[in-house]
Amino acid sequence: MARTESVQPAEAVQLWLVRPEPVRPDELAALDSEERRRAEAFRGSADRMLYLSAHLALRRVLAARLGHVAPQEVRIVRDRNGRPTLPGDRPPFHFSLSHSAGLALLGTAPVRIGVDVQRTLSRTTADLCGRRLHPAEQEELASVQPSARAAHFTRLWTRKEAYLKGLGVGLSRSLAADYLGVDRPDTPAGWTVLDVPCGETTWPRPPFRAGPPFLSPCAGC
């Protein structure tokens, strides 16, 4: 069973941190055939456990939010860009899920939402992938002390991935097209960005209003 820790900021944006736990055979019935197939594709047992825990948590949260629906009855479809969503032109709420390196982050909101979770990436990754970022983000990264560059790049990267997931386009959009840095206020218009330090024992409960849409990058856990 997946263990979750919930944060509920203003305006009905809800975040859950999911920690993997062994999944019982009877719990697998809540997943659809595609989810079970994807789980079996993981070579490592730890990655498989995280995937199963994250998707079971997702179905339980969606079922609870929808009401009077069992987790296995929740229908998850993909839009034209491949973004998971609830059926219909105007779903009752939106959700986003990210899992990486032993943790998963799940978010739901009445507006479009994107979340991403990462452990701190390597300095090599920061040096190589940093060249693909927005020019202002590259300048920002270059101004950081070398010892802190990997952590700062991870923060930029999770913001970027959360934004692209919120748009529903993923990495098909150029990483240089949008500024998601931390030094300037001109992040994409209409988006609220919140950094969530997943490594903290107690999650922050910042006072903000979730105007449409909403991003919750989660870095450095």
Give per-residue pLDDT as tens, 136-157: 999 999 999 999 999 899 999 9
**Alpha carbon distance 129, 66 (integer Å):** 39
Residue 208, both tokens: 């903000």
Determine whether 173 is exposed, middle or buried from the number of CB atoms within 10 Å of its CB (0-12, 13-18, 19+): middle
Neighbours of 198 (CB within 10 A): 18
Band (83; pLDDT cuts 50, 70, 90): confident
pLDDT (0 to 100) of residue 199: 60
**Alpha carbon distance 13, 113 (integer Å):** 9
Rounded mean pLDDT of the chain?
82
pLDDT (0 to 100) of residue 96: 94
Tell me the pTM.
Answer: 0.82
Q: Which helix (H) or strand (E) holds 98?
A: strand 94-100
**Alpha carbon distance 220, 213 (integer Å):** 23
Tell me the mean pLDDT in the region 100-112: 87
pLDDT tens digits along 141-199: 999 999 999 989 999 999 999 988 888 887 778 888 899 988 887 778 888 888 877 66
pLDDT (0 to 100) of residue 170: 74
Asked whether 25 and 14 are in contact (CB, 8 A), the reply is no
**Alpha carbon distance 107, 12 (integer Å):** 10
Neighbours of 163 (CB within 10 A): 23
Q: Sketch out the chain's domains with CATH numbers.
A: 3-218 (3.90.470.20)
Residues 6 or more apart in contact with residue 161 via CB below 8 angstroms? 98, 114, 116, 118, 171, 217
Is the pLDDT score of 87 beyond 50? yes
**Alpha carbon distance 18, 205 (integer Å):** 18
pLDDT tens digits along 44-60: 899 999 999 999 999 99
Query: Which strands sit side by side in the sheet containing 192-193, from one edge to the other?
Result: 113-117, 214-218, 192-193
* Nearest CA among 44, 56, 47, 70 for reference residue 16: 56
Residue 102, both tokens: 């032993």
Tell me the mean pLDDT in the region 70-76: 95
Stated length of the chain: 221
pLDDT tens digits along 206-215: 333 333 444 4
Please indicate whether residue 202 or residue 28 has the higher confidence score (pLDDT): 28
The residue with tokens 């209003």 is: 209
Asked whether 66 and 74 are in contact (CB, 8 A), the reply is yes
**Alpha carbon distance 20, 208 (integer Å):** 29
Tell me the mean pLDDT in the region 99-127: 88
Band (11; pLDDT cuts 50, 70, 90): low
pLDDT (0 to 100) of residue 3: 38
pLDDT (0 to 100) of residue 81: 81
